Amino acid sequence: MDRIYTILIFLAVPILGYSQLFCPPIDGKKNQNKNIEITAGGGFTMLYGDINHTNNFGYGAVLKGDYHIIKGLFAGLELQTGLLKSRGESNIYIVDWDPRFVENQYFAGSLNVTAYPYRFFTDEKFLFKKSFFERNILYGFYVGLGVGGIFNNYKNIQRQTSYSYRDLNTGATEVMEIPEGSVNGAHENVFVYDADGEMVLDADGNPVTTKLYSQKTRDKLLPIVNVGLSIPLNKFSTRTDGYFSLVINSQFNFSGGEDLDGYNPINTDGSRPEGARNDMYNFSYLGIKYSF
């Protein structure tokens, strides 16, 4: 009988030892302080510019990589693409009538830093002992700041200076003139040529020019502000050397100019309207992050 017990012990020791290699450590050390994080996600955009919008929802996708610098602080690179949309009130009888609209297929890139305030003050090796709120919400809350650039491609935009509508009283088609300054945007002045290829001249003999609006523009984004949660999904249970997190993020992108919605309104004297502000957009998304 003693011989049988001895054999069983010799068989059990290596099996138990091998199984421990894949068990989550009881001190929570296995998945702390990962150096690299990759996030992919998608969500909706909201564009705020010069249009008195009734609908400003678009969509976007993001790919982000971060590197752990010091405890609670990461630096990274983000790539983003999607559609920025805004459409004004088309009803001519509404006070805030605005016939302008835009669909901007954009691509943006940025450098950013992300700080997790709670992580500065906690010992991560004891995190698995904390409450659900501390382990997920406080640990995962972050704020970020960045700078970047955006490439705009206006898939659809209103540049006409007249608007046709049907009169509700008479049923007749009427035309409303739109001030040229309200549809102004990035452009270059080009010479006008007639059907024979000859340059058109005005009464004084000077070449006539017209605006050729740019379909593609670019601008800087400064600042870019992020706030969100990174909730660990399997940090304390995984058998691998990395873990996944659910990311809930809201990002505010402030443009250095007027190109996000394609409009840069000007008065008849060429001055900027009083109270005009640069464009911005919000991008809120859900994502999955892998830390390793």
In whole angstroms, what is the distance from residue 49 CA to residue 260 CA? Answer: 7
CB-CB contact of 86 with 47 (8 Å):
yes
Cis peptide bond prior to 232, omega within 30° of 0: no
267-290 pLDDT per residue, tens: 988 898 888 899 999 999 999 999
Q: Domains, the chain, ranges and CATH? A: 30-154+215-291 (2.40.160.20)
Lowest mean pLDDT among 47-61, 162-176, 180-194: 162-176
72: which residues sit within 8 A by CB, 6+ positions away?
A: 115, 116, 117, 118, 119, 120
pLDDT band at 132 (very low <50, low <70, confident <90, very high): confident
CB-CB contact of 73 with 110 (8 Å):
no
281: which residues sit within 8 A by CB, 6+ positions away?
A: 45, 46, 47, 48, 84, 253, 255, 260
Tell the residue number behind the tokens 């919605």, with chain if given: 261
Q: Is the pLDDT of residue 56 over 70?
A: yes
6-15 pLDDT per residue, tens: 544 444 444 4
pLDDT band at 32 (very low <50, low <70, confident <90, very high): low
Tell the residue number behind the tokens 């650039």, with chain if given: 149
Say if strands 162-166 and 141-157 run parallel, antiparallel, or are unpaired.
unpaired
SS3 state of residue 183: helix
pLDDT band at 54 (very low <50, low <70, confident <90, very high): very high
Query: What pLDDT, on a 0 to 100 scale, did the predictor assign at position 2?
Result: 55
Residue 277 tokens read as 């502000």
Query: What pLDDT, on a 0 to 100 scale, did the predictor assign at position 80?
Result: 99
Q: Which pairs with CB-CB distance under 8 Å and at least 24 residues apart come from 244-248?
A: 244/288, 244/289, 244/290, 244/291, 245/140, 245/288, 245/289, 245/290, 245/291, 246/286, 246/287, 246/288, 246/289, 247/39, 247/41, 247/285, 247/286, 247/287, 247/288, 247/289, 248/286
Query: What pLDDT, on a 0 to 100 scale, did the predictor assign at position 101?
Result: 97
Query: What pLDDT, on a 0 to 100 scale, did the predictor assign at position 238?
Result: 67
In whole angstroms, what is the distance from residue 20 CA to residue 124 CA? Answer: 21
Query: What pLDDT, on a 0 to 100 scale, did the predictor assign at position 274?
Result: 87
Higher-confidence position of 174 and 31: 174
Closest CA to 51 of 90, 13, 77: 90
pTM for this one?
Answer: 0.84
pLDDT band at 239 (very low <50, low <70, confident <90, very high): confident
253-272 pLDDT per residue, tens: 999 999 999 999 999 888 98
Q: Average pLDDT in the 21-44 region?
A: 70
| Mean pLDDT taken over the chain | 88
DSSP string, 79-148: EEEEEEEEEEB--TTSTTB---EEEEEEEEEEEEEEE-GGGGSS-GGGGGGS-HIIIIIIHHEEEEEEEE
59-103 pLDDT per residue, tens: 999 999 999 999 999 999 999 999 999 999 988 888 889 999 999
